[in-house]
Amino acid sequence: MSLNANQLHFLRTLFPDGDCLTAPEEMLVFETDASRLNGAPLAVVRPQIESQIVELLRWAHAECIPLYPRARATNVVGLCVPERPGIVISTLKMNRIIDVSADDFVAVVEPGVVTGDLQKHVEAMGLFYPPDPASFGISTIGGNVATCAGGMRAVKYGVTREWVLGCRVVLPGGRVIECGGRNHKNVVGLDLTRLMVGSEGTLGVMSSIMLKLMPKPEATASLMAGFATLEEAMLAVGRVFRAGVLPTALEFMGPEVLDCLALLVPVPWPHGTGAGCVRAVLLFRIDGSGAAMPADLERLRRALNDTTQGAPMWLEQGVGSAEEEPLWEIRRLINPATYYVAPNKISDDVTVPRGSLLPALTGIRDIAARHEVPILTFGHVGDGNIHVNIMHNAADAEERSRAVEAKLAVMELILSLGGTLSGEHGVGLTKAPYVHRQLGEDERAVMHDIKAVFDPNGIMNPGKAF
Ligand SMILES: Cc1cc2nc3c(=O)[nH]c(=O)nc-3n(C[C@H](O)[C@H](O)[C@H](O)COP(=O)(O)OP(=O)(O)OC[C@H]3O[C@@H](n4cnc5c(N)ncnc54)[C@H](O)[C@@H]3O)c2cc1C
C-alpha cells in the first residue's frame, strides 16, 4: 500500500515546513522503537497544535488509514511499530509545559514534554511529580500516560495512573473529548481518564494532559542490604512492611545479577559464592522530613535486623543525593552488565502479589536450570514487579528455542501465582500473542467493544494491547 497524490497533498498541506516526512531515509528511525521490531510507515507527521491532530483524525477515519501515535519510542514492546502500513504521528513538537499551579497542585502539559524536564521544572517551585520510570530523562508524559508507566517510587506513590487528573483526547473522526479536570476529586460520570491511561495509543491521541502534584519531600535516604540467600532477602521484604515502614522505593537484585554486575564493576559487597558472600541485595529509599530521617532510617535497619530469619550480612547507607547516588548507580548498571552473560535477551516485567515473590523467584530459578538458560531477576520487588531477562545467543537456533520455552514456562508460573504478564511495560506487539492466557474471552470482548466506540474503523495503533 502507498499514499496516492491526493492523500500526500492533504498531509503536506496540513503539516507544512518539513513536518510531513515521506522519504524512506527520513522515516527510517520511525520504523522501530526500543523493542527493535520494525515496520515501515507510509508517512510521518509532526503536529504542533491540537487542530492539526483534529483534521488528521477526521481525514484518516474517513480514509480508514491506520495511525500510530509516537513520542520518544522508548517502550520495549513494539508499541510504536507500524504493524501494517499507516501514518506515524510524532508528538515531539508538542512539548510545552502549559501551566503549573502551586495553588491547585496541578500541571498541564502537552504530551511530548519529557518527564524529567517536568520534574525539574516543578521541583524548582517546591513541587513534586513522583512517577519516575528509569527512562524519565528520555521518555515523555504522553508515552508514560499511554503505557501507565511505573518506576522506582511506585511503592509509596503509585504508578502514573495515580497522578493523571485529566486529558484532552482527539478521537478518530475529529471529535475532541475533555476527560477529568483540575479537581483532585471527581466522581461525575464514567472515568474516561482512567480508560485513556494505559490504552497504548489504541483509542485516540491525547493533545494535553493534566497531572496532580504534591509538595516536594524535604529529605531522602537510601540503604543497600546484602543477604546470604534469596530466601532471606524476601523474608526481609515482608518484615519491613509488617514493621510499618513504607519505603519510597524497594529494589531487588538476584544472585545471577550480582554475578554479572561483578563482571562489569568492582561491587561494594563481599562477592562470590562461598560463606560470608552476599547472594541477594535489597536497595531501599525512604523520604520525608529532614528531622525524622535518622529515626526513619533506624526503624528500617531494626526491621531488617532479625537474626532468626537471617539479618543482612552487609549494609551501606547514604543520606542525601550525593551519598545515595553511588548506591543507585549500581542498580542502573544492571542493563549493560547483562550483556556480559549473553548477546541477546528476552525481557519481561511480570508482577505477582507481593506475598508470592519468593515462590515466583525460586520458580524462575528452577525454570532456568530446567531449560539450561541463564535467567536474571531483579526489579521493583516493593510492587511485586520482577524484571526477568532470559539471556541467550539468538544466532544459535537451539538455544533461542530453549529461551522461548523458558519464557512460556515463566508466564505459566506467574499466572498460576495470580500474577500479571506485565506490570509496567505494556502489551504492544511482543506480548499481544499471550494476552489470552491472562484475560478471559468475555473481558477481551468488552475491551474490543469499548475500542469500537472510540475508534469504529480500527485505525488507532492496530495490533496492539488486547
Ligand atoms: C532504559 C529504559 C528504561 C525504562 N524504564 C522503565 C521503567 O522504569 N518503568 C516503565 O514503566 N517503563 C520503562 N521503560 C519503558 C518506556 O520508557 C515507557 O514505556 C515509557 O512510558 C514510554 O514513553 P515514550 O515517551 O518513549 O513513549 P513511546 O514509546 O513513544 O510510546 C508509548 C505508547 O504511548 C502512545 N502514545 C504516545 N503519545 C501519545 C499520545 N499523545 N496520545 C496517545 N497515545 C500516545 C504510543 O502510541 C505508544 O503506544 C524503559 C525504557 C527504557 C529504554
Same-domain check for residues 209 and 305: no
pLDDT single digits (tens) 100-139: 999 999 999 999 999 999 999 999 999 999 999 999 999 9
CATH of the domain at 203: 3.30.465.10
Instruction: Give the per-residue pLDDT at 458.
Output: 98
Which residue owns the Cα nearest ligand 1 atom 2?
Answer: 135
Residue 128 lies in a domain: yes
Instruction: Give the per-residue pLDDT at 276.
Output: 92
Q: Which amino acid is at 17?
A: D
Residue 246 lies in a domain: yes
Ligand 1 pocket test: pick from 135, 211, 339, 464 the residue with the most ligand atoms within 8 Å of its Cβ.
135
Name the one residue in this structure whose C-alpha cell is 502539559: 109
Closest CA to 62 of 452, 448, 456, 464: 456
Region for 97 from its dihedrals, namely left if φ exceeds 0, alpha if ψ lies in -120 to 50, beta otherwise: beta
Residue 76 lies in a domain: yes
The three-class DSSP label of residue 52 is: helix
Report the distance separating Cα 246 and Cα 242, nearest Å.
Answer: 9
Report the distance separating Cα 51 and Cα 33, nearest Å.
Answer: 27
pLDDT single digits (tens) 174-217: 999 999 999 999 999 999 999 999 999 999 999 999 999 999 99
Which residue owns the Cα nearest ligand 1 atom 39?
Answer: 142
Same-domain check for residues 130 and 273: no
> Could you give phi then psi for residue 5, rounded to 5 degrees?
-60, -40
> Residue 307's pLDDT band (boundaries 50, 70, 90)?
confident
Residue 126 lies in a domain: yes
Average pLDDT over residues 54-62: 98
Query: Rounded to the nearest whole angstrom, what is the distance from the C-alpha of residue 137 to the centroid of ligand 1?
Result: 12
Same-domain check for residues 244 and 355: yes
Name the one residue in this structure whose C-alpha cell is 520455552: 405
Instruction: Give the per-residue pLDDT at 104.
Output: 98
Q: Which amino acid is at 260?
A: C
Same-domain check for residues 324 and 342: yes
Query: Rounded to the nearest whole angstrom, what is the distance from the C-alpha of residue 305 to the centroid of ligand 1?
Result: 38
Closest CA to 133 of 385, 464, 346, 461: 385
Q: Are strands 87-90 and 67-70 parallel, antiparallel or unpaired?
A: parallel
Same-domain check for residues 49 and 198: no
| pLDDT above 90: percentage of residues in the chain | 98
Residue 321 lies in a domain: yes
Average pLDDT over residues 310-333: 95
Instruction: Give the per-residue pLDDT at 259.
Output: 96
| 234, 76 contact by CB (below 8 A) | no
CATH of the domain at 69: 3.30.43.10
Query: Rounded to the nearest whole angstrom, what is the distance from the C-alpha of residue 145 to the centroid of ligand 1?
Result: 8
Torsion of CA 435, 440, 446, 452, to 10 degrees: 30
Instruction: Give the per-residue pLDDT at 465.
Output: 87
> Residue 466's pLDDT band (boundaries 50, 70, 90)?
confident
Which residue owns the Cα nearest ligand 1 atom 9?
Answer: 133
Q: Considering the chain, what is the average pLDDT of its residues?
A: 97
Ligand 1 pocket test: pick from 46, 54, 74 the residue with the most ligand atoms within 8 Å of its Cβ.
74
Q: Is the pLDDT of residue 308 over 90?
A: no
Ligand 1 pocket test: pick from 37, 147, 431, 464 the residue with the most ligand atoms within 8 Å of its Cβ.
147
Closest CA to 163 of 179, 145, 177, 147: 145
User: How is residue 328 written as a grid cell?
Assistant: 543507585
Is the C-alpha dihedral spanning 34, 35, 38, 40 positive or negative?
A: negative
Closest CA to 111 of 178, 174, 157, 169: 169
Q: Which amino acid is at 409?
A: A
Report the distance separating Cα 222 and Cα 250, nearest Å.
Answer: 10
Query: Rounded to the nearest whole angstrom, what is the distance from the C-alpha of residue 74 to the centroid of ligand 1?
Result: 5
Looking at the 3D structure of the chain, how many domains does it have?
3
Same-domain check for residues 71 and 18: yes
Residue 463 lies in a domain: no
Q: Which residues contact 132 (CB under 8 A, 6 or more apart)?
A: 115, 119, 151, 152, 153
pLDDT single digits (tens) 36-52: 999 999 999 999 999 99
Query: Rounded to the nearest whole angstrom, what is the distance from the C-alpha of residue 2 to the centroid of ligand 1?
Result: 28
Report the distance separating Cα 145 and Cα 209, nearest Å.
Answer: 9
Last residue of a domain, one of 34, 56, 90: 90
Report the distance separating Cα 213 and Cα 452, nearest Å.
Answer: 33
Same-domain check for residues 180 and 286: no
Q: Which amino acid is at 191?
A: D
Report the distance separating Cα 168 and Cα 323, nearest Å.
Answer: 41
Instruction: Give the per-residue pLDDT at 106.
Output: 98
Same-domain check for residues 179 and 274: no
Same-domain check for residues 144 and 287: no
Residue 430 lies in a domain: no
CATH of the domain at 393: 3.40.462.10
Ligand 1 pocket test: pick from 67, 75, 378 the residue with the most ligand atoms within 8 Å of its Cβ.
75
- Cross-strand partners of 211: 107, 164
Last residue of a domain, one of 182, 215, 248: 215
Instruction: Give the per-residue pLDDT at 272.
Output: 92
Instruction: Give the per-residue pLDDT at 355.
Output: 94
Residue 121 lies in a domain: yes
50: number of Cβ within 10 Å? 17
Same-domain check for residues 345 and 401: yes
Same-domain check for residues 206 and 316: no
In this prediction the pTM is 0.96
Query: Rounded to the nearest whole angstrom, what is the distance from the C-alpha of residue 69 to the centroid of ligand 1?
Result: 11
Query: Rounded to the nearest whole angstrom, what is the distance from the C-alpha of residue 140 to the centroid of ligand 1?
Result: 7
Torsion of CA 146, 19, 168, 181, to 10 degrees: 90
Instruction: Give the per-residue pLDDT at 152.
Output: 94
> Residue 1's pLDDT band (boundaries 50, 70, 90)?
confident
pLDDT single digits (tens) 419-432: 999 999 999 999 99
Query: Rounded to the nearest whole angstrom, what is the distance from the C-alpha of residue 34 to the centroid of ligand 1?
Result: 9
Which residue owns the Cα nearest ligand 1 atom 28?
Answer: 73
Last residue of a domain, one of 181, 215, 249: 215
Same-domain check for residues 183 and 292: no
> For the chain, how far is it from start to end, CA to CA, in angstroms?
25
Per the structure, the complete domain to which residue 81 belongs is given by 5-90
Instruction: Give the per-residue pLDDT at 310.
Output: 86
Q: Which residues contact 142 (CB under 8 A, 6 or more apart)?
A: 69, 71, 91, 94, 110, 111, 112, 113, 206, 209
Report the distance separating Cα 62 and Cα 25, nearest Å.
Answer: 29
